[in-house]
Amino acid sequence: MEIIVQPGMTFYDLSRTFGISLDLLLKSNRFLEPDQLIPGQVIKIPGYETVSHRIQSGDTLYQLGTTYDVPIEQLLLINQVEPTRLEIGQTLEIPRITEQRITNVRKPYTSERVEDELMLLISRYPFMELRTIGESVLGKPIYELHIGTGDKLVHINGSFHANESITTNVIMAFIENYAYSMVNQDPIRGIDMSSFFREVRLSVVPLVNPDGVDLVNGQLPSDQEIREQVIEINNGSTDFRSWKANIRGVDLNNQYPAGWTIEQQRKPKTPQPRNFPGFGPLTEPEALALYNLAFEEQFDRVLALHTQGEVIYWGYEGLEPPEAEQIALEYQQVSSYTPIRYVDSHAGYKDWFIQEFRRPGFTIELGKGVNPLPISQFDVLYEEMLGIFLANYYI
């Protein structure tokens, strides 16, 4: 919702009138000078919308406030009317917190729907920041969302593997629930999300592999040559449900310079639906986008969401810092997932992050079953991951 600045209006007054923290209001309007508001400027009120009401005989502001459960101060601020001079037929805008959800996490995501929902989310909750960090092989944008203002910078990503896109559902649900709780000042599992917002800054890439995820969800490339190539890689089949790779048949989580030659020697040597590490490290634009992002932002820790196994991989070659074990044990407490320090695997994003930065990195394998996990598992997966997301506030 947007309102027009009137003479004497301040962010502090707006914060009190709408029951939104001053931090959140300022972040939502970060391009305005808070101490120099100019009449006529537009201020965004996160999480609110307006509905129209046509004045009927006998209507009063007090009665409308009671009917719509809206403070009279909000009605006056939005409509700039004289309370004793309402006219029949006049239209007033009634502010209210938006209840309708944007994210539809009950069906598999495509890259287009992720993009559409992210745009709607930052429009409704402008305290979040969205940008493009790169493009896929087919030119689809890879988005990063920032939430929070804290010094602790935690990165979360999903859908490195195409048939593990339920991780995107879990991430998108958390983004919206977090934003909604901020506007409503409603704790999640007892945690004040306003404090979370001030202490933690989240970097979120909900969909690392847009081309592959679209392929798994039945969207063949429009380019005839590329379409023929992926069908050939898939042994002539148009059933791509078991496809893990990007559109060129490269496993994006085998693309990082952390023991890449080990994986190259024992994995397939040509493009495949799964497990081909590429002809060299970082040949794929999706993997390179996440690589460059880590250097740019210098994350304090990273969480890469995958499926399946209900385990948390937290070590690599003895290079992980001492605090990584304690974090992994805390994640276990809130999720029941089993921490595993070492596994005979290399070239993953988590592996490289630990090797390069000597900071905590985690690969979290959600759920159990055969990929792609059915959407019916969503509720369980979300509740298990929610504890891990929130634990980043206090550890």
Q: The dihedral of CA 187, 192, 197, 202: what is its sign?
A: negative
Are residues 105 and 165 in contact, defined by beta-carbon separation less than 8 angstroms?
no
Beta strand segments in 199-294, E:
200-205
The amino acid occupying position 275 is: N
DSSP assignment of 339-376: EE---S--S-HHHHHHHHH-S-EEEEEES-SSSSPPGG
Specify whether 365 is catalytic: yes
Catalytic residue among 176, 284, 365, 384: 365
The two beta strands, 361-366 and 301-307, are: parallel
Is 181 within 8 Å of 112 (Cβ atoms)?
A: no
| Structure token pair of residue 244 | 């893990």
Measured CA to CA, the distance from residue 157 to residue 325 in angstroms comes to 21
Q: Are 316 and 354 in contact (CB under 8 A)?
A: yes
Active site residues: 365
